[in-house]
Structure 1
Amino acid sequence: MFETLLLLTIPTLSLRLLGALGVTRFATWQSAAAHGLAFMLVMTGTAHFVPDSVTVMPHHSDLVAMVPSFVPFPDLTVYVTGVLEYLGALGLVLVPTRRAAGLALALMFVLLLPANIHAAVDNISFGGQPATPLWFRIPEQLVYIAVALFAALGTAPIAQAVRTVPVRAGESG
């Protein structure tokens, strides 16, 4: 249940440690998070193309089973989202495209939410493991959305929003 979160967290923390040790590419949390998310996307994107005979990780059929019935061409959809994950990962590690990639990935994570809900509600196993419960899936997806937005925008939009909140008389700001 926590494997995918670990695929994001461990690389992010490791890369940020390298940044603290002088590797300038990872000198900020934003850059480390972008690269950590890229690592996770390469790993999860791989599952979109793995044949059923591979049992050490989720495979293509697992992902097809997650696609809700209202989505046409589920097999093709899984391949396309795998390609989009790879492209998003590439976009995150290339500084000029990081913002666009992070925003696009945040949107993709929102659009994938129905598949995650469907998998949890209908008890669809994943990689031979029991279905991840809904109470975990939705917050997990929110983490990916937040990290993608952080990689794209950093904290500046949040800081700007906080600075522009009007302070009422009698409150300290």
Structure 2
Amino acid sequence: MKPLIVLLAVFALCLGITALAGNADINLSGRIAMSAMLSFTAMGHFKFPGGMAMMMPPFIPAKKQIVLLTGVIEVLAAIGLLVSSSLRITGILLIVFFLLILPANIYAAIKKVNLEKADHSGNGISYLWFRVPEQIFFIAWVYYFTINVSSG
């Protein structure tokens, strides 16, 4: 829920600022908003690596290293969204990334992982009724503001 709030709040703020500047720029606002959201979620990878490692099944090795690597990937994607020449490739890679992390979110919900506390006091399976549509929304957002824009 927090990433969605960051995304929408930053989008509204940027859209308002660009409108006040004389030209409401929905595309720039959308990319800045996703960049801010990715920066926000990347912080969690570095602040809560233990809890995030619990989101992966036991058979996956080097969980904390994967958590840190995916945090770096999110930071790089956040930067890529702000570089016009890299929009299309950043968009494609970010959509693939969102698809690849969805199973971890499903596993975490099934195991009731609370990533901030690194325990099993999370919301559980009911969380997926929000998380899966949210993930689809993020994918659509990235497509609209990167691939759709750069191919148009």
TM (norm. structure 2) is: 0.87
The verdict on how the C-alpha distance between 1:70 and 1:144 changes in structure 2, with shifts beyond 3 A counting, is farther
How far 1:61 moved relative to its partner?
1.0
Q: Identify the match of residue 82 of structure 1 among 71, 96, 102.
A: 71
CA RMSD of aligned residues (A): 2.0
- The one-character-per-residue Cα deviations of 1:115-158 (angstroms, maximum 9, x if unpaired) are 0100111111132473361111101111111111112123687x
Secondary structure at 1:127 match in 2: coil
2:136 matched residue in structure 1: 142
Contact 2:50 2:115 in 1 (8 A): no
**Higher mean displacement: 121-130 or 84-93:** 121-130
Structure 1 residue 131 and structure 2 residue 123: aligned? yes
1:14 matched residue in structure 2: 13
Q: Distance in 1 between matches of 2:148 and 2:91?
A: 10
Q: Identify the match of residue 42 of structure 2 among 42, 45, 61.
A: 45
Q: Distance in 1 between matches of 2:76 and 2:52?
A: 18
Report sequence identity in percent. 30
Greater helix fraction, Structure 1 or Structure 2: 2
> Unaligned stretches of 5+ in structure 1?
51-58, 161-173
Structure 1 residue 154 and structure 2 residue 144: aligned? no
Contact 1:30 1:154 in 2 (8 A): no
Secondary structure at 1:142 match in 2: helix
How far 1:93 moved relative to its partner?
0.9
Which of these two proteins has the greater Rg computed from alpha carbons?
A: 1
Runs of 4+ in 1 over 4 A off after TM superposition: none
TM (norm. structure 1) is: 0.77
